[in-house]
């Protein structure tokens, strides 16, 4: 992408997309395709209610019905999301037809074994995200590679979403007590985290007409991918397990997705903050001024290592070393990278919007969590370690937003604060489960 295209503001996005042949950017009245999309979703909801009524209680049926207008609205706001939902629905439906009610067919049917069983699809997601990241970085010198990075990212989201949908049904095929929404353990929520972060990035990529941030955001997504692969290979974490009693609740369908929208957007904001600092120091010759940024980047790479409770494995040592090299290489190439990045104003705006969205959803998730706790344990708040760290995360971003709105927080301090916020969020997300026992300690390494 040219420097001009990569620095377009949101206000000039309509004109830019019109030049490339996209005439549907301006949102207005719905058209016949919106009606068709609504009818498809409504038909799917009716089918689920009639075919699997025993798998849902009254609250879950209400959630299902409420999801239909919510998805229609999201599809109207962002048309590519509608295409994704239809494609994933068709792919998941084809996979379930191939199963024919028999899970053993996953090892015998070619398309299931290599593409559409949940584990195969999720592995494709991991591979595509890795390749997409490489393409995005090559995209700083080749527009074609940047375009390919976007296409591969969409492919990864398609594969991962299809995998989760198929996994949902696979659980039910294993037994009536095993079937549940696939957001109940570390394996599943890491997939969810990668998908949500990627979707929000792809939205901002389109809104601001720049692919220059893809390499930065894919760094944090692929950190999750590395953990996911390690966790799968060393712990057989991809196996579908029964829910622990406390998780057998319809609250989980609301609380967990809302929580991970917060985690995903906070992570995206941190990577945009990193890009902001690279842009700001693009012409800096003194490495002394770059030292705080390098240290922060290395700390983010090192954080997953502390989650190992039985010594450091070769995987995490390699991850840390490779991550430090990547951070150093980005800083070495900061000059040409900074020239391709959007303006500082655009980067600051994306960071603010991502944190604002994440804070709203994280607030909702915290309230839902309190209601769930009252339903499950008879108290809204017990100062459990997970609850305490969720509060710390909430206070951190509440302070960030307060300082921005009331004191005009911008630029360097806001970016470093976003990076520190990712360290805090990372510990609340994973570290609490590893080190601090409590009511929420469902994940194990």
The whole-angstrom distance between residue 142's C-alpha and the CA centroid of its chain comes to: 26
Assign 24 a pLDDT band (cuts: 50, 70, 90): very low
Tokens of 31: 């058209």
Assign 285 a pLDDT band (cuts: 50, 70, 90): confident
pTM: 0.90
Instruction: Give SS3 for 380.
Output: coil
Tell me what the pLDDT averaged over the chain comes to: 86
- Give residue limits of the domains in the chain: 106-223
pLDDT of residue 197: 97
Distance CA 65, CA 50 (A): 13
Report yes or no: 289 and 263 within 8 Å, Cβ to Cβ.
Answer: no
Contacts of 398 (CB under 8 A, 6+ apart): 359
pLDDT per residue as tens digits for the range 334-370: 999 999 999 999 999 999 999 999 999 999 999 999 9
pLDDT per residue as tens digits for the range 291-328: 888 888 877 776 665 555 455 567 777 778 888 888 88
Report the range out of 42-51, 152-161, 313-322, 421-430 with the highest average pLDDT.
Answer: 152-161
pLDDT of residue 12: 42
pLDDT per residue as tens digits for the range 161-186: 999 999 999 998 888 778 888 998 88
Range 89-94 average pLDDT: 95
Report yes or no: 210 and 7 within 8 Å, Cβ to Cβ.
Answer: yes
pLDDT of residue 23: 36
pLDDT of residue 144: 95
Report yes or no: 10 and 352 within 8 Å, Cβ to Cβ.
Answer: no
Assign 7 a pLDDT band (cuts: 50, 70, 90): very low
């Amino acid at each position: 992408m040219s420097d001009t295209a990569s620095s377009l503001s949101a206000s000039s996005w309509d004109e830019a997309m019109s030049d490339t042949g996209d005439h549907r950017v301006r949102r207005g009245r719905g058209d016949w395709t919106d009606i068709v999309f609504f009818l498809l979703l409504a038909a799917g909801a009716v089918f689920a209610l009639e075919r699997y009524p025993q798998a849902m209680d009254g609250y879950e049926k209400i959630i299902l019905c409420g999801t239909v207008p919510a998805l229609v609205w999201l599809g109207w706001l962002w048309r590519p999301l509608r295409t994704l939902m239809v494609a994933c629905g068709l792919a998941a439906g084809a996979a379930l037809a191939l199963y024919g009610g028999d899970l053993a067919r996953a090892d015998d049917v070619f398309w299931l074994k290599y593409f559409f069983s949940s584990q195969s699809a999720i592995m494709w997601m991991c591979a595509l995200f890795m390749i997409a990241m490489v393409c995005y970085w090559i995209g700083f010198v080749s527009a074609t590679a940047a375009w390919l990075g976007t296409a591969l990212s969409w492919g990864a989201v398609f594969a991962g979403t299809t995998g989760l949908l198929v996994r949902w049904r696979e659980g039910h095929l294993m037994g009536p007590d095993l079937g549940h929404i696939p957001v109940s353990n570390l394996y599943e929520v890491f997939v969810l985290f990668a998908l949500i972060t990627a979707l929000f990035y792809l939205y901002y990529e389109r809104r601001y007409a720049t692919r220059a941030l893809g390499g930065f955001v894919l760094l944090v997504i692929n950190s999750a991918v590395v953990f996911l692969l390690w966790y799968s290979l060393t712990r057989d974490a991809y196996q579908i397990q029964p829910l622990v009693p406390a998780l057998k609740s319809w609250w989980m369908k609301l609380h967990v997705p809302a929580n991970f929208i917060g985690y995903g957007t906070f992570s995206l904001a941190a990577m945009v903050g990193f890009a902001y600092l690279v842009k700001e120091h693009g012409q800096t010759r003194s490495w002394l001024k770059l030292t705080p940024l390098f240290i922060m980047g290395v700390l983010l790479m090192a954080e997953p290592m502390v989650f190992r409770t039985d010594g450091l494995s070769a995987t995490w040592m390699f991850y840390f070393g490779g991550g430090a090299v990547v951070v150093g290489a980005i800083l070495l190439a900061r000059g040409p990278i900074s020239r391709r990045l959007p303006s500082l104003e655009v980067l600051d705006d994306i960071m603010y919007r991502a944190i604002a969205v994440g804070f709203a959803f994280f607030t909702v998730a915290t309230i839902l969590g309190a209601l769930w706790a009252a339903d499950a344990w008879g108290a809204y708040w017990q100062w459990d370690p997970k609850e305490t760290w969720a509060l710390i995360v909430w206070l951190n971003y509440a302070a960030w937003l307060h300082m921005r709105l009331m004191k005009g927080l911008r630029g360097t301090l806001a970016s470093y604060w976003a990076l520190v916020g990712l360290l805090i969020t990372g510990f609340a997300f994973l570290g609490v489960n590893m080190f601090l026992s409590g009511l929420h300690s469902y994940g194990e390494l």
